[in-house]
Structure 1
């Protein structure tokens, strides 16, 4: 089993293999980043999933005719591993010249391989283009805070000290921003995202939240770990009765990653935003 991200295909020249090769998948343990947050697999304060959407899914029918579809993959947030994104793309490309009898046969293979890499059952849907097209484009719920005036000049690491709340006023609120940006910790490439915060707790100052989110702008971390850091910083400040944090990231290499973390059991919506 792979582990250290520096041994992954990220940032390295890669040969694209067009026939089924599950060994291309590169798992990365979540426990290292959980430890940075003072957590372990036994003390996670959230439930959730990571939704991956693949817009470059293709394979061959027995006749030799190619098929294109959109793949939706639901990885449990408690799984021991994330799957490194470039290895995921390389694996999916290895299906391009591989024959499957039908969608169901492909789905079974995807479920088996991705679950083995993640270390927990991964949900898979192979979706027709017309089905996804009919869903259209969605919007984040609640109030957008992006037009608020904030002053910030530090972007290298998240700054939870910027967050402020009114502990005497308990509210239920949903806020969102499209100004989240961070960098891949290996390649340095920017990751652009939109983030939503749904909570019941001490009233969060929206301008302070925006300044805090902007402070991620040059921070190097994976999508999942940025969302977990936001969740934990807000939980520490607000001591909420309920908290859900999720981000919808812009796709790179035909894949988008959308982590959801919540204190409550919930059904995550995987509807695309305008930048997706």
Structure 2
């Protein structure tokens, strides 16, 4: 059974020095979604946007090659990929010879797609984009657009998720807003290590009370859950408590082990946000 406790998280791991797709460890999304009351089709669309900063392999003559990689894992996949297993998998490329970057990209797409879609009735693929060194200086750094909730001077006393802090003005005219915070922090579900993040909330509907929203986001501080699950919890709590007509939640977490994970969930069809890193990432 692929449960977090059976993964390599928190364990001493030997680094494979040759390509090994079996290192990828998928974890079903279903159990955590059931906790949120999602038994069937989720009320959101979206994807998990990953960035790999430590990708290397050997060319046919044994010369090391390097690249950045962007991965797009649809939220419809039955599984997430446990991040340490992803790191171990990518490191298994380090001493393996490939014909060219296109072969590496094809191998990444095939392996990650198989793990993420494993068990699906109609499996599909994940998106994989490689950026070679000549394109590195085109990678921008940009903070999230929106009104910062962090400007509010307020007392925070709750550090486990408290959806009752969320309030909205149901008896007033609806609004459209984009709100951000850099104060998102949660902890790894298995190891307890801190996960630092930022979040952007874009919505239309009853105006969400900003002080309560910031207190709610801060309340994740001692919570143990994977990045993707935290983003879905935030979406579902806002969707249930504040009843927006439209809602998008975009969380960007700082990298660990050369990987960052950036979940995006939206109530309505739209293009995915650009996978542009923030200064902290």
Give the aligned partner of residue 246 of structure 1: 250
TM, length-normalised to structure 1: 0.97
Distance in 2 between residues matched to 1:203 and 1:93, nearest whole Å: 46
Q: Secondary structure in 2 aligned to 1:146?
A: helix
Deviation, 1:239, is 1.6
Contact 2:166 2:242 in 1 (8 A): no
Deviation, 1:141, is 1.2
Distance in 1 between residues matched to 2:97 and 2:49, nearest whole Å: 26
Contact 1:248 1:259 in 2 (8 A): yes
2:130 paired with 1:131: no
- Aligned ranges 1:53-202 → 2 under 5 Å: 53-119=51-117, 120-155=124-159, 157-167=160-170, 168-202=172-206
Q: Secondary structure in 2 aligned to 1:192?
A: strand
Deviation, 1:24, is 0.5
Deviation, 1:249, is 0.4
Deviation, 1:135, is 3.0
Deviation, 1:213, is 0.2
Distance in 2 between residues matched to 1:270 and 1:225, nearest whole Å: 19
Contact 2:158 2:215 in 1 (8 A): no
- Aligned ranges 1:6-45 → 2 under 5 Å: 6-40=5-39, 42-45=40-43
Write the deviation string for residues 53-104 of structure 1: whole angstroms up to 9, x where unpaired.
0000000000111011101110011100000000000000000011111111
Please, which moves more after superposition, 175-184 or 144-153?
144-153
Deviation, 1:238, is 2.3
Structure 1 residue ranges, 4+ long, deviating more than 3 angstroms after superposition: none
Q: 1:132 to 1:236 in 2, by over 3 A?
A: farther
**What is the aligned length?**
273
Distance in 1 between residues matched to 2:116 and 2:163, nearest whole Å: 30
Contact 2:205 2:243 in 1 (8 A): yes
- Aligned ranges 1:223-242 → 2 under 5 Å: 223-242=227-246
Q: Secondary structure in 2 aligned to 1:33?
A: helix
Contact 1:150 1:210 in 2 (8 A): no
